[in-house]
Homo-oligomer: A and B are copies of this chain.
Amino acid sequence: MKLTILGCYSATPKINTNPTAQVLEIKNHTFLIDCGEGTQVELRRNMIKFSRVKHIFISHLHGDHCFGLAGLISTFNLLTREADLHIYAPKGLKEVITMQMKLSNSWTNYQLIFHELTSTSSELIYEDDKVEVHTIPLDHRIYTNGFLFKEKLGERKLDMNAILNADIDMAYYRKLKQGGDVPDNQGNMIDNSILTKDPKPSKSYAFCSDTAYSASIIPIIKEVDVLYHESTFIEKNEALAKPTKHSTAKQAAKIAKKANVGKLILGHYSTRYDGLNEFKAEAEVIFPNVELSRDGKKFEF
């Protein structure tokens, strides 16, 4: 998996701070997560091919997470895109985008397929043979979801020494990879675990922005490899975090610790702060493996 941060600041832009947008490259997919104003330019700047983006996940309908979508859809159209575009977003966005297209008389040449989200419990919203995407209901001022991206466990690996020793017919290899028990040449059933090894562990990434501290997400994101959790504020500004339903870096770290994740990435910083070191320092006290997102930064895991 490769995560590219296109923007990691909250609303009220400064020069050279971009609102939320990320690209997750996972199992040959290029998933766009949130699409704040300017995302189309940031995709270009980070050399991510527009044609590779086929699925866009929008957490909520605050402008700093979705006001770049109409422009991106229009640009795809001008570039004569033909491939379907799937958009997973709270109910309502379809109506706005449709009205914008109508007023500009710019219907897309390609299929624009909205998957409208309304559930307040976690649901599976995308699945193929390699990847699953689940929502993570968050606690924000308006209806908001994070997203959990999970590689599916691959096939079991054949232990060729064991297979040759047990004298298993090649016709059974496919069943073995899928985890089934198979007979040897004498007709004795052999347990799968004797003949195969565990597949490579599957990776997972959880995106949680924007949200107040919410213990209810912990079971959903339990033991993910990487958690991006918003930290709009640092602890000294907790009084601002509470009414706006945002988190502090310390709260993000608490969630990371309780969910026993592999790594925590912080982001969605308020532009009021001059630097980001305090975010990291504050979180590390609670949870050691913390990294700061920055616009244009790439994470591989």
Residues of B within 8 A of A96 (CB): 96, 99-100, 103
Known A-B contacts A15-B44, A38-B37, A99-B95; the reply to A104 vs B62 at CB < 8 A is yes
Q: Which residues of B contact A109 (CB under 8 A)?
A: none
Shortest CB distance A244–B (Å): 10
The listed residue with most B CB atoms (<10 A of its CB), out of A11, A45, A62, A67, is A67
In the assembled complex, how far is the CB of residue A47 from the closest CB belonging to chain B, in whole angstroms? 10
The 3 A-B pairs at the shortest CB distance, nearest first, are namely: A92-B103, A61-B103, A63-B74
Given contacts A62-B104, A67-B70, A67-B71, 20 further A-B contacts (CB under 8 A): A12-B78, A13-B75, A14-B44, A15-B45, A38-B38, A61-B103, A61-B104, A62-B106, A63-B100, A64-B71, A64-B74, A67-B67, A67-B100, A90-B103, A92-B99, A96-B100, A96-B103, A99-B99, A103-B142, A104-B142
Query: A141 on the interface (CB 8 Å rule)?
Result: yes
Shortest Cβ gap from A49 to chain B (Å) = 14
Q: How far is the CA of A70 from the CA of B36 in the complex (A)?
A: 11
User: A14-B44, A41-B15, A71-B63 given as contacts; is B99 within 8 A of A93 (CB)?
Assistant: no
Contact of A251 with B by CB under 8 A? no
Q: Does A68 contact B (CB under 8 A)?
A: yes
Q: How far is the CA of A106 from the CA of B142 in the complex (A)?
A: 10
A121 on the B face (CB < 8 A): no
Closest residue of B by beta carbon distance from A101 = B63
Residue pairs across A and B with Cβ atoms less than 8 A apart, 30 shown, are: A11-B75, A12-B75, A12-B79, A13-B40, A13-B44, A13-B75, A15-B41, A37-B40, A37-B68, A38-B38, A38-B41, A61-B103, A61-B104, A62-B104, A62-B106, A63-B70, A63-B71, A63-B74, A63-B104, A63-B106, A67-B100, A90-B103, A92-B103, A93-B103, A95-B99, A96-B96, A96-B100, A96-B103, A99-B99, A103-B142
